[in-house]
Amino acid sequence: MSDFPSQPFRHPPDREKLPVAALLALAMTGFICIATETLPAGLLPQMADGLAVSQSLAGQSVAAYAVGSLLAAIPLTLLTQTWPRRSVLLLTVIGFFLFNSATAFSTSYWLTMLARFLAGCSAGLAWSLIAGYARRMVEPHQQGRALALAMVGTPIALSVGVPLGTWLGSVIGWRLAFWVMSAMTLALIVWILASVPDYPGQKGRKQGSLFRVAAMPGVRAVLSVVLFWMLAHNVLYTYIAPFSARAGLADHVDLVLLVFGVAALVGIWVTGRVIDRALRLSVLVALATFALTLVVLSIVGANPVVLMIATGIWGLTFGGAATQLQTALADTAGPGADIALSMNVVIWNAAIAGGSMVGGILLEKGGAATFPPVVLVLILIGLFIAFSARRNGFPAGARQH
């Protein structure tokens, strides 16, 4: 169920520098994953009109993608674990090309949902590869920085990809945004072939290893934080368009997303600087700051200036989340890191799907004003779990290599 052996590939002394081109190709794969996943968040009104459905139903295209990821991650990882690693990575990218193209073509809501589900399957396999691939390319003392670089595609997708897609959708049409994503995957195929080293697959783990890893106290704690943090985030992010409209920013959703994404990019840079020395503290500060921001949004979230500032702080706290949580999970699981990271794909995407569904219900029943207080409760639960996991999951002090 693992992508790679627990021990990293040992480079000769003259190759101690980070393999930047290869890591950035992984980052670009993550960019495609995130941009494809979140693109509907900025295009809900246009997609709803184009498919003749409500915005809440259009928002379920995010849920379909997430369900595909969470259902496919473990089975596809098992199926492909003996295949050459680069071949599997290329398979995921080709999947994005096919299913984003199908989304751009589709005039049927249910065909669109199927294409989104299958694109999510590609993402589930991709996310089960990226973290382990990045960690294998470098020595243990470089893994924090390598993973931060491999994860940089996430905030770039949020800061550039989604706002650009939102702008294109408003000017030319939402279908063009998906065509752009398809074109980018073709370029990524060439990049992977040119710069990403191939590694052989491996034999499967012993039966029951999945359950042994899941039973580790630290693993349960980290995955619980993943669940509540990502559930909270996606209630807001999936429905950022109607939430922004509440503050009179319906015509500026692309700007709201840009502010979020740029702040997230800063967040991942900060994370890369501190993660090896203060992983626990960085997680606690991010969660506590997000909680305080939600308190403000609950009170004066309809003010456009407040919303823009709060969105920037929210993005700053979210930017390093993927790096923080995957590093904590891999460190806690030790030899079972690859199995734990595959489990992370399932939990992460379950939270995305849950956020989409919960947000849709809240939007229908009480409007966008109900988002901040509900999200605050979820974040406080995640903060409590992270704070309590001092011994296992989020230990104090520097990372142990």
Helix locations, 7-108, DSSP H: 20-51, 55-80, 85-105
> Taking 90 as the threshold, does the pLDDT of residue 287 lie above it?
yes
Q: How far apart are CA 347 and CA 299, in angstroms?
A: 31
For residue 203, what pLDDT is reported?
A: 61
Q: How far apart are CA 176 and CA 39, in angstroms?
A: 12
> Taking 90 as the threshold, does the pLDDT of residue 17 lie above it?
no
Question: What domains can be seen in the chain, in order of their start residue?
Answer: 17-388 (1.20.1250.20)
For residue 265, what pLDDT is reported?
A: 84
> Taking 60 as the threshold, does the pLDDT of residue 7 lie above it?
no
DSSP state of 172: T
For residue 401, what pLDDT is reported?
A: 58
User: Of all residues in the chain, what percent carry a pLDDT higher than 90?
Assistant: 44
- Tokens 């409760």 — which residue? 377
Band the pLDDT of 60: cuts 50, 70, 90.
confident
For residue 288, what pLDDT is reported?
A: 98
The residue among 201 and 198 whose pLDDT is bigger is: 198
For residue 342, what pLDDT is reported?
A: 79
Given phi > 0 = left and psi -120 to 50 = alpha, else beta, which region is 248? left
Which of 179, 143, 161 minimizes the C-alpha distance to 28? 161
Q: How far apart are CA 363 and CA 257, in angstroms?
A: 19
The amino acid occupying position 270 is: V
The amino acid occupying position 337 is: A
Structure tokens at 80: 């492909």
For residue 87, what pLDDT is reported?
A: 93
Given phi > 0 = left and psi -120 to 50 = alpha, else beta, which region is 108? beta
Least confident of 39-48, 134-143, 201-210, 288-297: 201-210
Q: What is the pTM of this model?
A: 0.78
> Taking 60 as the threshold, does the pLDDT of residue 5 lie above it?
no
What's the chain's average pLDDT?
86
| Burial degree of 215 (CB within 10 A; 0-12, 13-18, 19+) | exposed
Cβ-Cβ contacts under 8 Å for 205 (sequence gap 6 or more): 1, 2, 339
Average pLDDT over residues 323-347: 84
pLDDT digits (tens, 9 = 90+) for 346-373: 898 788 888 988 999 999 988 999 999 9
Exposed e or buried b for every residue in 267-298, given b needs 16+ CB within 10 A? bbebbbeebbebbbebbeebbbebbebbebbb
